[in-house]
Structure 1
Amino acid sequence: MNRPRVTPGPVLTLAASWVCTRALMLWLLVHDGSRLLGGGAVTREVWRLYVHWYGVLAHGSFPAHDTLWQYPPGAGPVLLAPGLLPGLTYFQAFVALTLAVDAATAAALVRTGARPGRSLLGAALWTGGPPLLLHLPLARYDVQVTALAVLSLLASARRPRAGGALAALGALVKVWPALVLLGAPRGRATRRAWSWAAVSGAAVLGLLAALFARPLSFLREQGGRGVQIESLGGTALNLARHAGWPGRARYRYGAIELTGPHVHAVATASLALTAAAFGLLLLWRVRARRWSEATPYDAALSAVLLFTVTSRVISPQYMIWLIGLAAVCLTSRRTSQRLVAVLILAACALSTVAFPMCYREVVDGTWSGCLLMLARNGLLAAAAVLSFVRLWRAARPPAGKPAPATQPLAGPDRLLDRVLSTS
């Protein structure tokens, strides 16, 4: 059996860096009341909102009729988990579990990166990326859902069934991890991953429906969301304020959204762009002819980037997803996403300046707030376009060479090809 070749020096450096950066994040968490850090706005979601939902979930029901509850039923067990740690407050237990999941993710990336032909750059990115968001990753459950997506991708190469099951669990927590299966290698690997995802997802959903009342209540609230101020559409509307647009910012559905004329049109355009992005990804899946060990990773990052930039909502914690997927890409020396990872890190830094440091300027629509969000969203848009272009090129055979005969269309891919061919 081939065992990972671990070089003690780099691994010890990564471990020490993780400890130091997480200690700094904990220090920032303790001093969250500082005006520069948002005056408590970052941690309020845990000690006020998550605690409230914990109380509802503990009585066997999802928070129906709560406009802030917009999460799939898999989020319930995640929010209940802090109750398993005795002797700690909910907030303390939540942070402790988040740190434990963070450490497990880093360890998985180190283990993969230490294998022959792989790279520890992914583990380095995960170690240094989240601290760019200050203490925000410790006060949201996006680290947990990102960990499921990361572990799914890392497992899929050797155990596609486990990868599919983990992706399904992630999708039940926050939907988007379902996208990590997009780049599964053709043939038996795809069939195994997708079938186990379907079976596992259905089984867990059935279990949650048996244990909790109203598991699908989130669908009603999710459909009512508008245009968040930090999205691409929100940035356009914020700039329109300076041209006389009469809209204003309001707190709705757990975020600052813009209300006024043409907001519905902007939201509809965002949904149309998301549908177009999905169509592009399906087209890539059908037309791709070259697969490498990096293809599933690159496809996952590209898909989530496209869905993020076209979304009506781009919350700061979404950056955690992108850091995790970029870290998986960088474990492979054959990835096409290195520059994309750099753009994501730059966008993370600007996200921190926007929230929590200068969020009042963003909400008020000042020129500095508008330009800040324009720069952040511009980086994300550039990263999404570059990511998809590189993914497309990497999966096409060189000019003048036929596609390899070892990767015929099979199963779901053949069905997609027929659908696109007749459309």
Structure 2
Amino acid sequence: MTIDTQDRPTTRSPVHATWIPAGRRTRFALPAAWLLTRAGMLYLLIRDGLGVGGVAREVHGLYAHWYAILAQGAFPAGDPLWQYPPGAGPLLLAPGALPGLTYFQAFVTLTLAADAVVTYALARGDHDPRGAWLWTAGLPLLLHIPLARYDVEVTAFAVLALLTMRRAPRVSGALAAFGALVKVWPALTLLGAPRGRTTRQVWGSALVSAAAMLLVLAVAFRSPFSFLREQGERGVQIESLGGTVLSYARLAGWPGQVRYRYGAMEYVGPSVHLVATVSVALTAAACGVLLWWRVRARRYSEATPYDAALCAVLMFTVTSRVISPQYLIWLLGLAAVCLTSRRTTQRTVALLVVAAAGVSALAYPVLYEDVMAGTWLGCAVMTVRNALLLGGVLVSFRSLWKGTKE
């Protein structure tokens, strides 16, 4: 195995010079851009429901309802909408710790704080500023959705886990474990850990941290694993790849219908179970492909853990039965981490992720009625979004493979 940690000499392209402010200007331009874009997102959130979607009702209703149950020392057992690992409990309880604010106000405040932490972590030190700029400019493409979901906090765990892996592998493992106990996928950030001591330290810390936190949650709350049954009942969401196939089948006369089930709009009808089974099989195949890469990879650079994480999460996103718009928050965060290193192989993939985020905002909330109705316009929007993600998977794995072979 060859460990290559030195940056090769690079030339500054005209695109880099014009798109990214350099040196001292970045220290002022980036915070200004962050404040301006986040103010715009807050404005949309305040006007939520006035033609831009009713996105905030999850926090106002569902999250606040779960908070009341969690505050009594129990997880929402029996609630078909509760499909999250037990680590989500403390995260949903956290807004209650901010005095003088409503639950909604405190939730948005913590989300913005996590967003600011991610931006700072991406921009600090000798990181290539393109990573921080991608996150700052890319997140608003999802409009106000990121402020009304807790995926920004989860992404913060993953971003920090990757950025601390080289210097503090045990801290990295703990951060990945905490993120995985909230939404599972941050565990994939450890896939590309350099072999040897770093891998042992990262994975050892992750396992110990996860076990300790699970023990604490099992003692502090009732029914911490109730989410498993509800998660297993998930069907095919209309925004997934399988959902896109069924949308076209519906245009061709397939008798399936769209129903609100398990917190999402899903298809019900003949062959839906088959499509769901194929999705699960593809996810298993993606797992096998990633393990095969891990065994065969020989050449690691400082960017390899970042690139592997983005590739892995892209694979699991595309093969999922559910591709909610907030999943793009994860991909934007990981793409931004990749761009902090000049050795990354994922620059093209990062652009595809940004494009997919922009199209996702069209799918939800702007044109969601068309997506639900399965009109030609709705099908076209979802086809473009999912084609961008699928193309991202193919380019990502090919680039990762070429970058790590002997």
User: In which range does the TM-score fall when normalised by the shorter chain?
Assistant: over 0.9
Identify the residue that residue 34 of structure 2 maps to in structure 1: 18
SS across alignment from 2:301: coil
- CA distance in 2 between counterparts of 1:212 and 1:97 reads 23
Is 1:277 aligned to residue 290 of structure 2? no
- The one of 219, 225, 229 aligned to 2:228: 219
Deviation by residue 1:239-283 (Cα, 9 ceiling, x = unmatched): 101111000000000000000000000000000000000000000
Tell me which amino acid in the other structure corresponds to 2:382: M
SS across alignment from 2:252: coil
SS across alignment from 2:258: strand
Compute the displacement of 1:12 (Å).
1.1
Is 1:62 aligned to residue 78 of structure 2? no
Pairwise mapping of residues 388-403 of structure 1 onto structure 2 (< 5 A)? 388-397=397-406
Identify the residue that residue 177 of structure 2 maps to in structure 1: 168
Deviation by residue 1:9-30 (Cα, 9 ceiling, x = unmatched): 1121101000000001001111
Tell me which amino acid in the other structure corresponds to 2:39: A
- The one of 80, 88, 109 aligned to 2:122: 109
- CA distance in 2 between counterparts of 1:224 and 1:233 reads 16
- CA distance in 1 between counterparts of 2:332 and 2:404 reads 23
- The one of 350, 353, 358 aligned to 1:341: 350
Identify the residue that residue 132 of structure 1 maps to in structure 2: 141
SS across alignment from 1:299: helix
- CA distance in 2 between counterparts of 1:320 and 1:343 reads 14
Compute the displacement of 1:347 (Å).
0.4
SS across alignment from 2:299: coil
**Structure 2 portions without partners, runs of 5+:** 1-21
- CA distance in 1 between counterparts of 2:302 and 2:196 reads 15
SS across alignment from 2:195: coil
Tell me which amino acid in the other structure corresponds to 1:99: L
- CA distance in 2 between counterparts of 1:267 and 1:104 reads 37
Tell me which amino acid in the other structure corresponds to 2:289: L
CA RMSD of aligned residues (A): 0.8
- CA distance in 2 between counterparts of 1:241 and 1:165 reads 46
Q: Percent identity?
A: 66
- CA distance in 2 between counterparts of 1:184 and 1:155 reads 11
Identify the residue that residue 19 of structure 2 maps to in structure 1: none
Compute the displacement of 1:168 (Å).
0.3
- CA distance in 2 between counterparts of 1:129 and 1:47 reads 25
Tell me which amino acid in the other structure corresponds to 1:8: R
- CA distance in 2 between counterparts of 1:209 and 1:242 reads 48
Compute the displacement of 1:7 (Å).
3.6
Is 1:357 aligned to residue 388 of structure 2? no
Tell me which amino acid in the other structure corresponds to 2:46: V
Identify the residue that residue 269 of structure 2 maps to in structure 1: 260
Compute the displacement of 1:8 (Å).
2.7
Is 1:34 aligned to residue 50 of structure 2? yes
Pairwise mapping of residues 320-331 of structure 1 onto structure 2 (< 5 A)? 320-331=329-340
Pairwise mapping of residues 70-109 of structure 1 onto structure 2 (< 5 A)? 70-109=83-122
Compute the displacement of 1:179 (Å).
0.4
**Structure 1 portions without partners, runs of 5+:** 1-5, 398-423
Tell me which amino acid in the other structure corresponds to 2:89: G
Deviation by residue 1:205-234 (Cα, 9 ceiling, x = unmatched): 100000000000000000000000000000
Deviation by residue 1:57-111 (Cα, 9 ceiling, x = unmatched): 0000000000000000000000000000111000000000100110011001111
Is 1:286 aligned to residue 295 of structure 2? yes
Deviation by residue 1:32-55 (Cα, 9 ceiling, x = unmatched): 1212x11x2x10100000000000
- CA distance in 1 between counterparts of 2:89 and 2:318 reads 27
- The one of 163, 185, 188 aligned to 1:154: 163
Identify the residue that residue 192 of structure 1 maps to in structure 2: 201
Tell me which amino acid in the other structure corresponds to 1:261: P
Tell me which amino acid in the other structure corresponds to 2:85: P
- CA distance in 1 between counterparts of 2:298 and 2:110 reads 41
- CA distance in 2 between counterparts of 1:294 and 1:45 reads 36
- CA distance in 1 between counterparts of 2:248 and 2:355 reads 22
- CA distance in 2 between counterparts of 1:45 and 1:248 reads 24
- TM-score of the aligned structures, taking structure 2 as reference length: 0.94
- TM-score of the aligned structures, taking structure 1 as reference length: 0.90
- CA distance in 1 between counterparts of 2:322 and 2:236 reads 6
Tell me which amino acid in the other structure corresponds to 1:52: H
- CA distance in 2 between counterparts of 1:228 and 1:242 reads 17
Tell me which amino acid in the other structure corresponds to 2:393: A
- CA distance in 1 between counterparts of 2:297 and 2:62 reads 44
SS across alignment from 2:242: helix
SS across alignment from 2:265: strand
Deviation by residue 1:282-340 (Cα, 9 ceiling, x = unmatched): 00000000000000000000000000000000000000000000000000000000000
- CA distance in 1 between counterparts of 2:49 and 2:79 reads 27
Identify the residue that residue 319 of structure 2 maps to in structure 1: 310
Tell me which amino acid in the other structure corresponds to 1:108: A
